[in-house]
Each structure stands twice: as C-alpha cells, then as structure tokens.
Structure 1
Amino acid sequence: MYCYSLVVFSLGIRRSILCPAFPDLVVDIVQSIVEIVSCGDSQDPQLFERFMEYQVLAEFVRVLRICTDTGIQAPFLQYLSIFIQNIENYCFSNDHINNIIAHPFNFGCGDLDPYYISFLRAVSSKVNIGIISILVKVHGVRYCSFLPVTLYSAALKFSQRSERMIQAAVRAITLNLYKVSDDLVLQFLSTPPVSDYFSNLVWRLKEQCSHLDGHVHALKERFTDHGWKELLLEADKIVDEIYYLKDIISVGESCLSEAVALSLVNFLIFPILGRLLKTQQSDVSCLLPNFFCSYIYSYFSQG
C-alpha cells in the first residue's frame, strides 16, 4: 500500500512540476511523499527500495531548479528537513542532497533563510562515519562536492548572522561535523582557509570584549538602566561565545583544539596582555580585559 502510494505521488510530482499554474500542488505532493516515507518505513520494508528506484530525490532537485518562488521553496525545505530525519544512510550515496544544499537560493527574501538553515541542521545530524564511508566508496574524495565540505561551507555563510535561531543552528551544524571524527573531514576543517573560521570566532570575541569595555566605561561616567541592560546583554554574548569555543575543544580532536587554542592566544590573550604591559593606567579599560583573560584561562583549564 505504501509503495503504491509512493509510486503515485512520485509520478504526480513529475507532472506537477510541468504545471506552473498550480504551485501549491508541488508542496502538497512533497508533503505526502514525506509522510509516506516517515510513516511507512516500519510498515513496508521495501519502501526505501522503491524510493530509490523511482529517483524521488532527483525529482526533489528538479522542483528546486524549476520552482524559484520562495513561497514554494520555504515549505519545501521544511518538509525536506522532516524527510532527512527518516531516510537511510544509502540515500546519501548520490549527489542529490548535496545538490539541494548547493542550490543557489535567493536568501534574504521572505522566510527562506531559517528553513534552509534548519535543513542544513537536519542533514548534519545524519552525517556519520557510515555515510562518509559510503560517499568515499562511491565517489572517491572530491572536496569540491564532498557532502561534509558542501554542508560546512554552506553553514559558514550564515556564521555572521545575528539572529539567535540561525546562530544556534550554525553552531549545531559545525559541532555535528566536528564530532564525525573522520580524517578526511578533519583535514578539511583544520586547513586554511577553512580553519580561519576559528580565528574569526576569536576576533569576534575580542570585539565583544571591547564593546563591553566601552559599556563599563560609559557606566562609570554616567549610570543608566538602559546602559546596565546593554552591559548585561554584551556579557551574555561573550559567555555564549566562550561556551561554544569550549564545546569545540570538548569534541576531543587535537587539531580542532589546537586551532582554537592558538587563535585564543594569538588574537585575544597576547594582544590584551600586550596592551596592559604598555600602559601604566589602572582604569576600567585595562582591568576588564585582564579579568576576561583570567576568566577564559580558568574556564578552559577546567577541562
């Protein structure tokens, strides 16, 4: 029953793509396919075989290439995120998931961005040694189209976004990939220019410390409730960044820990200590960076 329904809907999506007058029909069919795969796998063991046989993922890619309306792409990505959580590893053996990730979406229009980053997060949660082995066995090592490479590169494009949901998703995606513990993936992550991401994190932390320093200095001159709230907000951002860096180190991969540690020392701790050595003042602007250097050292030294 489930296999028959899958065949019907897979044929339906091929026809609906050719009917631009009914864009909602595409989304409805994709939703139906996702529901069939999600609910029918436990009922019909041949479901995924039929899914692969009828190249349903390839049809999903065709949908994105033809339907450029973000009003269709957003719910489409939402259903794909659900779908990804229910597929087997061998569904990653072709480049269809990779092609969806690399699709040139028109970001910044409507609500597409959070749906896309949620899709990336769903994919990252499935990446493991088993999938890496399948990809290498089928395709060999091609960094330009290697799924973890495409996924990581896509996620980093959102690393400077200020929305909390997107920030949390980017961190979850990167941590999921750091935990794969595959030599090929780690080599990619720890090699410039990709490894510059770690130094960028520390540079951002340094800027946040500078902003916090400015807030403290301003409050010293004139205390206001608004200024106090701004100070607490900046402090929360710094603590959040430190927790993320600690999570990266806690993964336990020496190449990642070394990259984070070197960035902290070279771009945050040494510059701040050098600044302290050059000045004879003991005002807040000197004491606050010194405090954070001590805090960071004590926090990470706890293991």
Structure 2
Amino acid sequence: MHGANSSSLTPRYFILNGIPGLEATHMWISLPFTVMYIIAVVGNCGLIYLISHEETLHRPMYYFLALLSLTDFSGCTSFVPNMLCIFWFSLKEIDFNACLVQMFFIHMLTAMESGVLMLMALDRYVAICYPLRYETILTNTVIIKISLATFNRSVSLTIPFTFLLKHLPYCRGNLVHHTYCDHMSVAKLSCGNIKINVIYGLIAVIFIAGFDMFCISMSYTTIIRAVVNLSSADARQNAFSTCTSHICAIVITYVPAFFNFFTRRFGERTIPHHVHIFIANLYLLLPPTLNPIVYGVKTKQIREGMIRLFFKEKSILNI
C-alpha cells in the first residue's frame, strides 16, 4: 500500500481522487464551484460585517443569522480550497491526521448548521408567540449559552468519528474516491470491522438532524396556530413574512442533506459514483452560497442596512 506504515497499517497520507472518471474535465468542473465559493465567502462575510456594524440589526434574530453565516463560511472553507487544489494542480495527497481534522470540521460544522437553524426556529417561535417578552426571553446571555450548547453538542458528537477512524487498520489502499475526507469514504478503506462506524454515523444523524427537525416542526406548528388565530389579515401576513427567509434556509439545507444521505445508503449501486460526489459537494456548498442571497432578498431590514452602510462608506471615502 502506498504511503503505509507496515507496523500499524496506518497510512501516512491519503490520496483524494477528486471525481473518479471525470479527471479530464476537473478544470471545467471547478468553475461553478469556484463561483459558488466566491459568492459564499463574500455573502457570508458581508452579512457578518453588516450585522456587527449596524445597530438596528443588534437583535436576537440577526445574531443567530450572523452565527449561521459564520458556520457557513467556515464549513465551505474547510473543504473547497483543498478541492480546488485537486482540480487545478492535482495536489491530491493529504496527511492522515490532516484528513481526520478536515473530516472533523466538515461534520462538526454541518451539525452546527443544523443546530443554528433549530435556534432560529426557536427565535421565530418566541418572536411570534411571545412578542412582548421577546427581548427579555432571548437576552444576550441566553443567546450565548444556547449557542455554546449547540457548539458543544456538535463537537462532542463529532469527536468519536476521529477516534473510530484513527484506530482502524487500513489495508485496502489509501486512495479516497472523493474530493474531501468523508467519514464513510475513509472507513471503507479499512480491512477491519466498520459496523460500529456505520451504526454511530446513523445514531449521530438521527440525534442531530432528527432532533433539530423535530424542534423546528414543533416550533412552526405552534407558530402556524398562533398566526391563524390573529384577527388581522395584515398581522398574519407580517408574521408569516418574518419566517419566509428561515423556511427557505431550512429547505436549502435539509433537502440536499437528506438527498445525499439516502442516495449514499440506498442508491449506492444504482446511482453512478461521480453523481454521489457531485451531490456530496453541493449539499455542503449550496447552503452557504444561497443563504446570504435569500436573507438579502427576503429581509427588509438587511436590505435597508446594506443601503445605509453603503452610503455611509461612500460618504467617508468622499471626505
């Protein structure tokens, strides 16, 4: 085995093969991913900057949005630059420990994004069902505590993946047919028993995505009941409009994620492998690309904040 430590069957490095069978078109394939990554970086960094500098956006809803943007930016940055190096320069080698670190951040930040979307659903629930107590319930202290709890949950549930992979014997080569280090893609190179990896992966997905989707569903069920009981049609429309961006973010995040999850487990033999790789990359890159656009288009306060910030910066430059 190339790059293997014969005494421990632990490889010194893995080779990320990119998209198998489409190596000749890697350069062309990289173009849409590059554009999406640029949009994701500019959009999410722009939202974080806007929310931090605009006092009118210093509210719980926008703090959670800034946390989502930070998670999205970190998530796509954890794998896209490395993927582009594979496509552009054929730099396919990745150190074994670096591979585990990349896998940790990808899965941890994916779990974090799901948790932040759940917190944003909680924010909308409090804002619509308890509008007079909104600021007193979601204080800065509460926001920090629940954000840290979500972060700690993501870290604690992801760390076991690294230990499970670290102690596996690798005797099936070190060629990973993927653009980044994914838990199961690496585990399949082992000649040991990976049943516990499969079981723990399912448990982690159910505990994170299942729990978060349950909380989101319960929040919106209560929100819908509260909005329907409003006497004014304008009040109902305004209440629903405050949830539109968040609902779009949920769809953008969970639909590709679940599609990727189910096709990998139930469509392994019917769907070509390069299609799996495309789906896996899109499900990580699509939410960071589209979320800033959705919130920029759908949220009036953000549009107004962008205009104020733009003219403020322009007036400073003209002085």
Q: Under a length normalisation based on structure 2, what TM-score does the superposition of the two structures give?
A: 0.30
**Larger Rg belongs to:** 1
Q: Give the number of the structure with larger relative contact order, counting CA–CA contacts within 8 Å between residues 6 or more apart.
A: 2
Higher strand share: 2
Task: Normalising by structure 1, report the TM-score.
Answer: 0.31
